[in-house]
Every structure is written in C-alpha cells, then in structure tokens.
Amino acid sequence: MADNVVILAGGQGKRMKTSKPKVLLEVLGTPMLQWVIDACEEAGLSEICIVKGYEAEQIDSYIDGKYETVLQSERLGTGHAVMQAKAFLEKNIGSDTLILCGDAPFIDKATIENALKLHKSQGSAVTVVTSKIDDPKGYGRIVRNENGISGIVEHKDCTPEQLLINEINSGCYWFDTQALLSVLFELKPNNAQGEYYLTDCVELLLKKGRKATAYCSENPDVSLGANDRAGLLKLNDIARMNVINSHLDNGVEMTCLDGVIIGKYVKIGGGTHIKSGSQLFGRTTVGENCVIGPNTLLTDTTVGSDVSLNNVMATKSVVEDKASIGPWTQLRPDSYIKKGVKIGDFVEIKNSTIGERTAVAHLTYVGDSDVGANVNFGCGCVTVNFDAEHKYRTVIGDNAFIGCNTNLVAPVRVGNNAYTAAGSTIINDVPDGALAIERGTAVIKEDYGYRKLKARTEKFRKLSQDEK
C-alpha cells in the first residue's frame, strides 16, 4: 500500500479579503496549493486527497479531477478537516499518511522524505515535522523526552520554561494511518474555539502507549504560512529571494534586483543577464548568454541562447538563438521567432512564424502569418488578417522586401524575392521575383488646402506674432 497525503485546503482566509480559497492565492505566480502538491510529487507521493471548503468549486476547477477531494462543509478545525477524509484513510489503512497545510507553501521534498525515514525507523505512530525559529511567539512548542516527544503545548498554555523552547510545530505530520484512525474520532472540541485540533491526536496516541517523534527540518521556512496580505507579501519576498539566489548560484547575472521576479518553474542558462524590471513566469526557459530586460515580461516562453530582449512582452512563444527583439515589442501566443531575427520598436507578432535573419524594424503588425528567411519589413506594415468574421493567413517567401506602409490583405501570398512598393495595399498574390504596386491615381485639387486650413493658418500666424 503506497504512502499517501491529505492536504488541508478548506480555509477562507477572511483577512485576505478575497473571493478565492486561501490556498489558491499565489506565491511567485503559483497558487500555494500547487507548491504543496509539487513537493509531494517530487517526493514520490501521488496518492493525494484534498480537503476543500470555502468556494470548493474553485478547488475542483483548479485540480481538474487529478486528485481526490472531500468537502469540509463547516470549518471546525484541523482535526475535523481530516475526519472528512475518513474513506480515503480507510482505503489506505496499511500505509502512512502525510498531513499537510495547503497554505504553507515551503514544505519540501527533503523534509518529507527525511521525516518519513525517521518515522518508519522509530516505529512511530506519529512524527511531527518541526522547525526552529528565533521568535516562536504564538506557535505550539515541541516538548521532547528521551523516547521522542511528550507533547505539543500551545503558546498560551506554556510554562515559563516551555516558553524558552524555540522548536515549533509546523502543522505537518506523518501518521501511521491505522493509528490515526484509532484516535481521530476521539477528538473533542474542548477549547475556546470549539474546534477539533489535530494536535490532540498526538496526546491521545501517547496515552495509548504509542510512540511520537519529531523531525526538525533543515528548511527554516517549512512552517511559514500567511494569515493576511502582509503575510502573503512576506512569503513572496522569501520565495523571490530563494529563487533568485538559486539562479545566481547557477551563473545567472543580476546587477539590480529592482522589480525582478522569477517564477519557481523558470529555467535560465549560465551567463544570462536579467536586468531590472524583468519578470519571468510559468514554464519559461531562457538559454545561455542572453540579455533579458530591462522591463521584460516572459510567460511560458522558450528563449534560445545569445538572445537580447529589451522591453519585450512575450506569452507562449518561442525565440531561437541570436535573435534581437525590442524595445516595446509584444509577442502574442504561438509566435515562433527563428534564429537571428531582428524585431524593433512598436512591433506586435501574433500566431506567426518569422524566418531566419528576417528584420521587422518598427511600427508593424504581423498576425497569422508564415514569413520566410531574410525578409525585410519597412516601417508601418500590417498583415490584415481579420475581416470581422474570419481570420486568414499571409505567406511571405524568402528574401522578400515589404515596402513601408504596405497592407497585406489575407489570404495572400508574397513570393520569394518579391517586392511590394511603399504605400501599397496588396490584395492579390505576388509572384516570385515580382514588384507589386497597388496605389490609387492621385487627384490634385488646387487651393483646397488654403480654404480648408484657413482658420488654422490664421490662428498660428496670430500666435506667432503675439510671441514676438
């Protein structure tokens, strides 16, 4: 029987002032619940039951059927939450069960594995994961004895001697599943809050002559959670610096951390420089020796090596080696930028492939297009892809030259080595090697400007005289 996990995720977090379940609030762009799930899966624990409560349908939507869930319709304490997982526990009665808090995101693989190793080697009914902190005020203290621990004492109940203890309960436990079931429904709400406390299971097991141990994690943040927005900000600050330091250790350069945020799943190659104001989220991957930023936002984007991105926003896109993009460029989803491409200011690419060494210098929109290699776009070009009902693709061959202010009205194809004259609106395919010119005949109306602009000209003349 595989070891399993029960994650407590029913809390509302009233002080957060949010309509979300507390566990879905984010740390570095990832819900706290996902941090906990990731740690479990990294430790090889895939049999997971999530106890949901407040706005339970949001939990269901987030996990999308991947894990078992149970509903805690009333929030009556941690012990009560675990009671809702009775059927799940009975199904796994020959195993050990890990109990975790879904709003304590810094639980880690090593802590889970090492606590379980101690738990099994000691033959314990319960092993409490603990941590040592400088200021334990408000936390339950771990009271140890020669056989393991003799109990967990809440701060308000501590003796003066116990107040000096700095080893605290993290809220994470390994239980022998059968032992947990033997005491779980003996819990009583004998406290001011009228709640069922999971910590009381430790005392009940000790009274039955079972052994309780404590594993003190080397992770100083394992017990940290958040009860309000300030606490959530602190979690983000801690996670942000942990992630940044790991990248620094791997040879990533950062000379200023102002505004730099890097998500937990992001991978960055050595020699890359992340400049101020840059934020990388999702499954973004960046190669070696790149310059990212300043003020660049990448989400679920793959970037090759030797790439420069200056003031770029890219989402679900791919940028190959030696591309240079920006400033003020947007790559919308499904943009594929090939090797050596140059993209300049105020350019937007969407659902398009841009071929090797192509240049899109400035003030251009390329949407739903397949662009060949070594193409040059002049200033102010647009692929006109939408007719208010359907979207169509534009195809541009290798070595084509798209003149300034060209509109390519899709569906249309510009051939290899073809040329469009500046100011043209291309509605028909352009053959290989051809020049396309589509301009209306100029109509000159004499003195129209004098008449139309007379009032404006007079106003300017008067202002100029006044200034003299």
Long-range own/partner contacts, residues 12-17 (CB < 8 A, 24 or more apart): 12/53, 12/54, 12/55, 12/75, 13/54, 13/103, 13/227, 15/227, 15/228, 15/229, 16/226, 16/228, 16/229, 16/232, 17/229
Q: Is the peptide bond before 105 cis (omega within 30 degrees of 0)?
A: no
3-state secondary structure the chain: CCCEEEEEECCCCHHHCCCCCHHHCEECCEEHHHHHHHHHHHCCCCCEEEEECCCHHHHHHHHCCCCEEEECCCCCCHHHHHHCCHHHHHHCCCCEEEEEECCCCCCCHHHHHHHHHHHHHCCCCEEEEEEECCCCCCCCEEEEECCEEEEEECHHHCCHHHHCCCEEEEEEEEEEHHHHHHHHCCCCCCCCCCCCCCCHHHHHHHHCCCCEEEEECCCCCCCCCCCCHHHHHHHHHHHHHHHHHHHHHCCCECCCCCCCEECCCCEECCCCEECCCCEEECCCEECCCCEECCCCEEECCEECCCCEECCEEEECCEECCCCEECCCEEECCCCEECCCCEECCCEEEECCEECCCCEECCCEEEECEEECCCCEECCCCEEECECCCCECCEEECCCCEECCCCEEECCEEECCCCEECCCCEECCCECCCCEECCCCCCCCCCCHHHHHCHHHHHHHHHHHHHHC
| Residues acting as catalytic residues | 362
